[in-house]
């Protein structure tokens, strides 16, 4: 059962990478805009709590994602950095309410 779900997960990522590669510039613009907005929301909450460490982490992962798109990195690498930055920013958000 675990192997089957792992294969589905890999297959899903491959589909995403293929879609991204076929529609690179449209998807890149959409993902950069969404990631920048999400990163700025998390940065606002981090700044509101005067947590410079969380603000730095948020800014670093958001800029890493945007720079991967601007540098036109390979599709899989760009998607991995994008999803990673979404996840990191999502994990930072609860710490701003403590």
pLDDT at 1 over 70: no
Quote the domain boundaries for residue 39.
2-95
Dist. CA 70–CA 12, nearest whole Å = 24
pLDDT at 7 over 70: no
Provide the pLDDT confidence category of residue 11 given band limits of 50, 70 and 90: confident
Provide the pLDDT confidence category of residue 38 given band limits of 50, 70 and 90: very high
The mean pLDDT value for 38-42 works out to 96
pLDDT of residue 10: 72
The mean pLDDT value for 42-65 works out to 95
pLDDT of residue 98: 79
The token duo for 89 is: 């920013």
Query: What's the structural domain count of the chain?
Result: 1
pLDDT of residue 6: 67
For the chain, give percent helix, strand, coil, nearest 5: 90, 0, 10
pLDDT of residue 9: 67
């Amino acid at each position: 059962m675990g192997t089957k779900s792992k294969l589905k997960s890999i297959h899903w990522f491959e589909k995403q990478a293929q879609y991204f590669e076929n529609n690179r510039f449209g998807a890149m613009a959409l993902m950069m805009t969404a990631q920048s907005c999400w990163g700025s929301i998390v940065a606002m909450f981090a700044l509101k709590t005067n947590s410079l460490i969380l603000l730095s982490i948020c800014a670093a992962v958001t800029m890493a994602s945007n720079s991967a798109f601007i540098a036109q990195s390979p599709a899989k690498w760009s998607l991995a950095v994008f999803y990673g930055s979404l996840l990191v920013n999502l994990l930072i958000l609860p710490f701003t309410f403590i």
